[in-house]
Chains A and B, each alone.
Chain A
Amino acid sequence: SQTIHQWPATLVQPVGSPLSLECTVEGTSNPNLYWYRQAAGRGLQLLFYSVGIGQISSEVPQNLSASRPQDRQFILSSKKLLLSDSGFYLCAWQQGKLRNIQYFGAGTRLSVL
């Protein structure tokens, strides 16, 4: 069966520090991968998605970047965190390219202080 792992579950970082969140998927190959953010009390915002190794699409201009160094690994990064980067970050995967179900990880709650 397929599983998705996100870590860490919670993270507290000072403003200006770097960020690296990792997401890995097991039990499947060539999935679509997604990063979402949810600010407190708000809906989910799609940040990045990837249809293959090294292929990243950015949905909104921001202080973050994403990379996909391996087929089942998706990394969200920042060189210098801002207060506004605080939120609940979710990784998701999807098998198949169109109209398929997305499966979400447990999320990382990031607090930038």
Chain B
Amino acid sequence: DAKTTQPPSMDCAEGRAANLPCNHSTISGNEYVYWYRQIHSQGPQYIIHGLKNNETNEMASLIITEDKKSSTLILPHATLRDTAVYYCIVRVDDKIIFGKGTRLHILP
């Protein structure tokens, strides 16, 4: 049980912002939301995480709704190298449970 729900795939035009949604309606107040991505044939790569406030780093921004039941990962200017499967994860103890993620296609 991955505890998150993501659309299976999305398209985004190169240079535009990619907004990837995630539902986590059963999340508790002290659980973090993490985002990873996996480029084909590589290991997953950490992107960003947050508890309840919006977060931004050099890769992306994370917007978490006030009720924490959903979040959105924003890649501000998508490039072809951002083509990957993006995983939204709610941490459970020492383990990460990966769901099926969203396959993001960046269109030239």
- The stretch among A62-70, A72-80, A92-100 that forms the contact with chain B is A92-100
Q: Choose, from B43-51, B58-66, B70-78, the stretch at the interface.
A: B43-51
Chain A contact residues: over half helix, strand or loop, or mixed? strand
Contact A43 B101 (CB under 8 A): yes
CB within 8 A of A104: which of B43, B49, B100, B101?
Answer: B43
Q: Considering the chains assembled together, what is the distance between the CA atoms of A49 and B94 in angstroms?
A: 9
Q: Is A46 an interface residue (CB 8 A)?
A: yes
Q: Is the interface of B mostly helix, strand, loop or mixed?
A: loop
A84 within 8 A of B: no
B97→A103 contact, CB < 8 A: no
B95 touches A104 (CB 8 A): no
Number of interface residues of A (CB under 8 A): 25
- Please report the C-alpha to C-alpha distance between residue A32 and residue B93 in the assembled complex, in whole angstroms: 12
Interface residues of B in 17-70 (CB under 8 A from A): 32, 34, 36, 38, 41-46, 49
Q: Report which of A45, A46, A90 forms a contact with B43, defined as CB distance below 8 A.
A: A90
Chain A residues in contact with chain B, CB under 8 A?
A: 32, 34, 36, 43-46, 49, 51, 59, 88, 90, 92, 94, 97-99, 101-107, 109
